[in-house]
Structure 1
Amino acid sequence: MKIPAYPHPVIAREGWGILIGAVLVALLVSAWSPWVSIPFWIFALFALQFFRDPAREAPDGDGLVLCPADGRIVCVEDAVDPYAGGRPALKISVFMNVFNVHSNRAPVDGAVQSIEYFPGKFFNAALDKASLENERNAMVLQTPDGQTVTAVQVAGLVAKRILCHAQAGQSLYAGQRYGFIRFGSRVDVYLPPGTRPRVAIGDKVKATSTVLAELPVPARDDESAA
């Protein structure tokens, strides 16, 4: 399935100020000393690659959970979802290093039930304890067939700014850009019991284009009655 026209520039708006500032400083220093300006140009190039935000096309299929971020899978395990009433869940976590795209995408079609921010620490985001101890922002979604999916943006060792542009009551489509985390970080996804994972620890993944898992098929009314 093709997602709607991508409504964002190739370079994320969240980085425009940093990138423009870096280039201006590099130009000013270049006018004084080209050699001294080299580190400033290197930083400008780093900012350019860090804030890139390419359009992605989602794969076809029903019940697919799309990857919310670029990076590497660091967790696939049974857990409880602390943001949706402590219900049992399958947890899949994606770790982003500073060279990954840091734009975050909705994993499923759904209505935003709640968004909650939690202040916290800044442990290495690859560590399991980062999920519940680091600064984070949790978004609980309800799919059109009534299943609950939670996406949690988690700050990392050097991440100091979590940005979430979604709002409670808003409807998101799978693959829709909804946030950004500045510098190395992590996204946790909590999925309903019975979800079948399509990734394993260590896999490299890409936002929207990689399928994380397949949601269970909800029981029909006649089946539940039987």
Structure 2
Amino acid sequence: MVTIDREAAPATAVAAVPALVAALAGRRGAALTLAVLPAAVALFFRDPDRTSDRDPLDADTVVSPADGKVMYAGPGQEGVAPEGEWQQVSIFLSAFDVHINRAPYGGRLREVTYRPGRWLAAYKHESAHLNERTDLVIEREVPGGTRVVHFRQIVGLMARRVVTRVAVGEELTTGQRIGLMKFGSRMDVFVPPEADLLVRSGQRVVAGETVIARWPSQSDAT
């Protein structure tokens, strides 16, 4: 099932103004043509159900937080990754991708940090630390210790607003909706080095469904 997110209402209303003006002016053909614009804007805010809405995911699984194309998958990049040792997956969202964001991993939300910034093209390396963004950190207790996953919503050249609908202290499930970014943007995910990355640059991923990393299970380790 596909629904339209509530953030669509104001943007769609603005996009409908040209069609309304044309209709009031008696320009029926132009009005019909311009009516495509609010329809396209509403479609941008589509919110389809995903497998993670129905099926539980195990504690070893990290899923994509966004639809889009993997720009980078490998060791944490200098100037992009948080301090420490990380593996990184960076995903670019075009204006045609679903922009509802999901938690890549389940656990307690330890940090939510919004940082204002610029609106460079999201595929540029420097956009990760110069653009408007929200950093989120999830931690989860597992046998043998605590696992931490850090992920980041980054707006781009077209996207001018990041929407985060979760708060510190919340318990999230893997694949749970956490917000969205308005128009083309980027998401970065950082996992500890002991987790195996399962995606590569150029690969298309689906939020809440594509497994991007996995910790070796206890049975694999023995």
Do both share a fold (TM > 0.5)? Answer: yes
Q: Which amino acid aligns with 1:53?
A: D
Which residue of 2 is the match for residue 215 of structure 1? 215
**TM-score, scaled to structure 1:** 0.85
- Confirm or deny: 8 A CA contact 1:191 1:215 kept in the other structure: no
Q: Which amino acid aligns with 1:135?
A: E
- Confirm or deny: 8 A CA contact 1:80 1:88 kept in the other structure: no
Q: Which amino acid aligns with 1:16?
A: A
Identity %: 30
Deviation, structure 1 residue 47:
0.6
RMSD (Å) for aligned C-alpha atoms:
2.5
Deviation, structure 1 residue 41:
1.2
Gaps of 5+ in 2: none
Deviation, structure 1 residue 101:
0.5
Q: Which one is further off, 185-194 or 52-61?
A: 52-61
Q: Which amino acid aligns with 1:98?
A: A
Following the alignment from structure 1 to structure 2, what is the Cα–Cα distance between the partners of residues 217 and 88?
21
Deviation, structure 1 residue 19:
2.0
Which residue of 1 is the match for residue 203 of structure 2? 203
Which residue of 1 is the match for residue 36 of structure 2? 42
Deviation, structure 1 residue 187:
0.5
Which residue of 2 is the match for residue 54 of structure 1? 48
Gaps of 5+ in 1: 1-5
How many residues matched? 212
Deviation, structure 1 residue 165:
0.6
Q: Which amino acid aligns with 1:93?
A: S
Which residue of 2 is the match for residue 147 of structure 1? 147
* Residues 12-34 of structure 1 deviation map (CA, whole Å, 9 limit, x = unaligned): 11112222443465345324312
**TM-score, scaled to structure 2:** 0.86
Following the alignment from structure 1 to structure 2, what is the Cα–Cα distance between the partners of residues 156 and 196?
28
Runs of 4+ in 1 over 3 A off after TM superposition: 20-25, 59-62, 80-85
Following the alignment from structure 2 to structure 1, what is the Cα–Cα distance between the partners of residues 110 and 80?
11
Change (3 A) 1:18 1:213: same
Following the alignment from structure 1 to structure 2, what is the Cα–Cα distance between the partners of residues 37 and 13?
25
